[in-house]
Structures are given as structure tokens and as C-alpha cells.
Structure 1
Amino acid sequence: MNTVTRLNPEVHAEYRWRNRLHTAVLAGGSLCLLALCAFTIAGPEGVLWAAIGGGISLYAAVRLSPRMVLGLYNARPLTVGVFPDGHRILEALSARAGLGRPPKLYIVHSRMMNAFSIGRRDDSVVCVTDGLIRGLSMREFTGVVAHEMAHIVHEDIRVMALSDVVSRMTSVMSFFGLFLALFNLPQLAQGGHGVPWIGIMVLILAPTLGTLLQLALSRTREFDADLTAVELTGDPEGLSLALVKLEKAQGRMWEAMMPGARIPDPSILRSHPKTDERVKRIMSLKKKPEPWIDVDGWPHIAGKSLVPATGKPRRRLGGMGVWY
């Protein structure tokens, strides 16, 4: 299957190479940071134990059943009879992506416009909110679903699980750095001879560096998912329109929560890239205007949900914050 015949092949190849390079550098940097922290604390044996502990944690994270995550959001299956167009989109995109079977489609009854994917290629779920179905046209909805399916195709849950495990382990090791710093304060008063200050500073700064690497890796994977989504749909403009609409909707939400406050400009502390930059990259791939999966003629109308109304969302306070 030639996936770039209707896209600019030169730009496509450049972005693909850049995303892979960034992923390798950032993931490798996170692993090196973890190894450095472990070596600082316990030498070569520390590196070995960190590798064993990290491997076990990573295995447990990637083998986590999608249904456990869906239970946290109170997500429910979205059947073919309720939303046939959504299943048609999943089947068409899955065929183009080469997946053995389409991901299952779930819904979270929320006014927020959001979507996420979880699981592995052989056991995956794409979850959307009722607000997303109501707020997007079918063309825009296809672009968002293609983006989430790209995460499944790339096995991004493994990449981000690795990054999360490394970040958490470096945070734990930083505790030892702070403990060592406090423990050696009396020696500092005597001149600081024999105190491994460089190692202590490495441990103290490791969580910040690990978090920055994790966020940068997340942004890179989002760029790569955008690229693959456009490959699957052949419609850069559809995904771009969806991203702009989602940005506006999220902006209104945060402004409503903080009256008078302005949304800060994106920075290195964001898990997703700037929408303007994403749209710029996506539209630079455009070669021909017509999409491969043309859904404009389908009967779904933006603003009218095909999902039965279940009443207003309820806010509840739990251990992990406020949920809708």
C-alpha cells in the first residue's frame, strides 16, 4: 500500500525521519539519566537493579488491561446499532493501518471534547466523549480517530510507559539525593571535604530533567501520530480543522474555570505541541485536496449526538481529583 501518493513524499519522509530521531534521542536520554542516578547511588550493581526493577514495572504497565483504565472513566461500549458511522470509520482506518482487528469503540458521557486510545495492537480501545461526537463533523471526527489509532499502530503505550517508569524511578532516587545532602550538611560546615556534591546535585536535578524529557517525548509522539493519521485518511485539512476546534473548546473550558485569566502560551512544560505548529506540519503534507476516506456524504450532523442522552454529567470528588 502506497501511503504517500496523495501527500508530499519529501515532506512526509523528512518528518518521519525527524520524529524517529527525536524519539530515539529522548528515550535514550531518559535511560541514560536513570543509569546515571543508579550508578551514583550504588555503582554498577545499582544500574543492574534499576534495569531489573524498570523491566518488571514496564511489563506490568503494558500488560494492564484496557478495561481497568476504562473503569476509571466509567466508559461504556458504543455499539454498532447506536453509532454505526463510528464503527465504519474504525473498520476503514484499521484496514488501511494493517491491524488484525479494529479497536473497540467506547464512550465517556462528558461535555468535554476529548478522545484517547489504550491497549496493544491485538487488544485496543478507542474512547471518545459525547462532547466530541456532538462538536465535530464526521470529517473532523475521522481525523481525530485516525490520530488515536496511530498511537495504537506505533505502540506508543510502550514508549510512554517506559518514559513514565524512568521518570518515577528517578524521582524516587532523588529522595536519596536530598537525604544525602541533609546528612552531609555538618561536613559542609567543616569545608565539605569528601562529600560527593556532584553526585548529589545529579540526583536532585534528575526528576526535573526526567520530566522535561518525558514531556518532550510525548510531544514527539503526538507529531508522529498526526503524521500517521494523515497517511490513514489522506485528508490533512480534516485533522487540522479538528485540532483548531478542540483548541478553542479547551480554551473556553479553562477560561470558564478561571475568570479573567488568560491561557498561557505553550512551553516545554506542555505534553502536547502547540496547535499552530501541529496544523502547520499537517498542512505542509498536503498534495491533493481530496481525502481517501470521504465521509462528508454520511448522514451524521455536527451538533446532534447519535448517543442517547443520559442527563447532565455529574461532578464528583475522588482521590484523584474532580471527575465528570
Structure 2
Amino acid sequence: MLGNWLKTSILMAGIVVLFGMVGAALGGAGGMLIALAIAGAMNVYAYWFSDKAVLRMYNAREVDAQSAPKYYGMIKELAANAGLPMPRVYIIDEAQPNAFATGRNPENAAVAATTGIMQILSERELRGVMAHELAHVKHRDTLISTISATIAGAISSIAQFGMLFSGGHNDREGGVHPAVAILVMILAPIAAMLIQMAISRSREFEADRGGAEISGDPGALASALQKIHNYAHRVPLETAEQHPETAQMMIINPLSAEGIKGLFSTHPQTEERVARLMAMAV
């Protein structure tokens, strides 16, 4: 738990520094101060509200024991196995098979799965997937992932508006040289993706291991990962394509891996994840 809080603190500090660097590059000392103020406000917002923002972004609908008895009952059983409070349970009406967890702590957690994942997986495989997501909740990874998704999106947005800050002036006129602004526009989102990569990949291995322990069936999760991987890259998830900073929250990378997005995968190789799980099963 201490390790995750340390990682969260480092993430927040890194985000503040990155915001400051973008502000300084685009607006000098004044721009840096404005960017630092925005970064501080965004960190506060992300801590309290990023989970709701992500669920709203994906048009997730909350379900209960009456509206989705089997799915809700599965989560309730797995949460009890993990020693966790019952999370809020959501369904996302999307064809791509995927799932994620969010929330700042186990007491305010939520898990979500797409209709696509429910259609292609067996009940045993789906149980393994949702156990993986509850492992994220148990390890308190959800705070880190939702904050990084929210702030990375903000960094990308502020970089996109970089040329507006430059005002079309060159550096001799007191503005920012357009070449510098363009460079910042390119590098800032890449830096944000690198932060996400560093945090996300190790978390997935730990959540696989934890999910296998919660479900008691590592082979089911391994089979589910193979199926999801095979489908996910053939079936687009438009919200993830429009907001690639949220991709690291999913159990399998939901992006089409075209262009620069494919160079910065936030997930380890599915083959390695499956191999580790099958070793646990043996």
C-alpha cells in the first residue's frame, strides 16, 4: 500500500513538473505559473472526480442485482473472496471485449465490462477477468490509473492549444517561436504517454497474479486474455481511440495500434501474461 501511495505521489509531482515545463515553453514565467496553478487544480479534480468522468466518457450504465443478476452476483462473490467492499458495477454498450476498474480507493471503487466481453467469454473466463479488475482495486492501482488518464488528457489538450499561446509571434517579439511551440505540442503528449507506460505495465502483471488468486482459476484468466486480444484489435472502441490516455485502464490495450499510438503500448505482451498465468496453473 505504501508503495502505491509513493507511486501516486511521484506521478502527481511528475505531472506538475510537466505542466510547468509546457507553460514555461509556451508562455515564459507567466505561462509556467498559470500552468502550475492548472496542474494543482487538475490533481485535486482528478483525485475526487476522475472515476466519474471516465465512466461518463464511456457512457457506462450502473446495474444491480435486479437488472444484471448473474454479472452482479459474480462481482459480489469475487469481492468477498478478495476481502473488498462491494464496488459499483457498470456495463458499457460496446462491441469490443474489454473491462476496467476505477475509483480512488476500495470504498469508492467501480468495475465496468463491455457487452462485447460478456458475449465472447464463458462465465468462467469472465469471472477471471473481473477478478483481475478487483485485484487492481485491492492493490489501489485504480487511483493511479484514473489520475494518469485524466491528467495525460489535459496535457495533450494544453499542448494542442500551444500555438494559440504563441500568438503567432517570434521570440524576439516577446512571444514563443512557432518552432518551439510545435516541438512542445509533439513532446508533451509523448512524455505523458511515457509516464503512463512506466506505471501501467508492471501493474498488469500484478493484477493478473492477484486476479488468479481471487478467482482461484489462473487458466480461466489466461484463456480470457487470449480471446480478448484476438478480438480487441479487430473491433474498434471509438471512445478509446478519441481518448487514448484511457487505454491503460483496460485489461487489454483497446487501441488499433496505428501510428504513434502503437509505439507506446501501456500493456505488456499478452503472450507473456498468458505464459505467467499458465505457470501458476501448473
CA distance in structure 2 between the aligned counterparts of 1:35 and 1:280, rounded to whole angstroms: 42
In structure 1, distance between residues paired with 2:77 and 2:123: 14
Letter matched to residue 219 of structure 2: E
Q: CA deviation at 1:241?
A: 0.5
Contact 2:102 2:111 in 1 (8 A): yes
1:229 aligned counterpart, secondary structure: helix
- After TM superposition, the structure 1 = structure 2 runs for residues 1-324 of structure 1, keeping only pairs within 5 Å, are 29-40=14-25, 41-43=27-29, 49-64=34-49, 69=55, 73=59, 75-79=61-65, 82-84=68-70, 86-99=71-84, 101-120=85-104, 121-163=106-148, 164-169=150-155, 171-172=157-158, 175-176=161-162, 180=166, 182-184=168-170, 203-216=184-197, 217-253=199-235, 267-284=262-279, 286=280, 289=282
Amino acid at match of 2:116: G
Q: Deviations over 1:75-108 (max 9, x none)?
A: 2414258534x34432333234332x21133334
Q: Which amino acid aligns with 1:56?
A: A
Is this contact kept in 1: 2:51–2:146, CA < 8 A? no
The code of the aligned residue for 2:210 comes to: T
Aligned partners of 1:105 and 1:133: how far apart in 2? 14
1:243 deviates by: 0.5
**CA distance, structure 2, for counterparts of residue 281 and residue 27 of structure 1:** 31
- Letter aligned with residue 54 of structure 1: A
TM-score (norm 1): 0.60
Unaligned 5+ segments in structure 1 are 1-16, 189-194, 255-262, 290-324
- Secondary structure of the residue aligned to 1:102 is coil
2:170 maps to a residue whose letter is N
The alignment partner of 2:89 has SS state of strand
2: CA distance, partners of 1:272 / 1:103? 24
Q: What amino acid is the match of 2:91?
A: I
Distance change (3 Å), C-alpha of 1:29 and 1:198: farther
Structure 2 distance, partners of 1:182, 1:71, is 34
Distance 1:174 1:114, change over 3 A: closer
In structure 1, give the amino acid aligned to 2:82.
A
The amino acid of 1:222's aligned partner reads E
Relative to structure 1, is the Cα distance of residues 136 and 204 closer, same or farther in structure 2, using a 3 angstrom cutoff? Answer: closer
In our comparison, the structure showing a higher alpha carbon Rg is 1
Deviation at 1:278, TM superposition (A): 2.4
Kept in 1: contact 2:125–2:221 (CA 8 A): yes
Measure the CA separation in 1 of the matches of 2:22 and 2:93. 43
Moved more, 73-82 or 221-230: 73-82
Inter-partner Cα distance in structure 2 for 1:20 and 1:268: 28
Q: Cα distance, 1:47 vs. partner?
A: 5.2
Match of 2:248 in 1: none
Cα distance in 1 for partners of 2:9, 2:61 equals 34
- Figure out how many residues of one structure are paired with residues of the other and give that number: 253
Q: Which amino acid aligns with 1:235?
A: D
State the SS of the aligned residue for 2:214: helix
Shift of 1:270: 2.9
> SS of the residue aligned with 1:273?
coil
Cα separation, 1, equivalents of 2:213 and 2:225: 16
Once the two structures are TM-superposed, the CA of residue 144 in structure 1 deviates from its matched residue by 0.6
- State the alpha-carbon separation in 2 of the partners of residues 160 and 33 from structure 1: 17
SS in 1 for 2:49: coil
Change (3 A) 1:60 1:81: closer
Q: Which letter does structure 2 place at the counterpart of 1:270?
A: S
| Contact 1:34–1:169, Cα closer than 8 Å, also in 2 | yes
CA distance in 2, matches of 1:157, 1:165: 14
By how many angstroms is 1:222 displaced?
A: 3.2
User: Which protein has the bigger helix share?
Assistant: 2
Q: Percent identity?
A: 29
Task: Report the TM-score, using the length of structure 2 for normalisation.
Answer: 0.67
Kindly indicate whether structure 1 or structure 2 has the higher relative contact order, using CA contacts under 8 Å at least 6 residues apart.
1
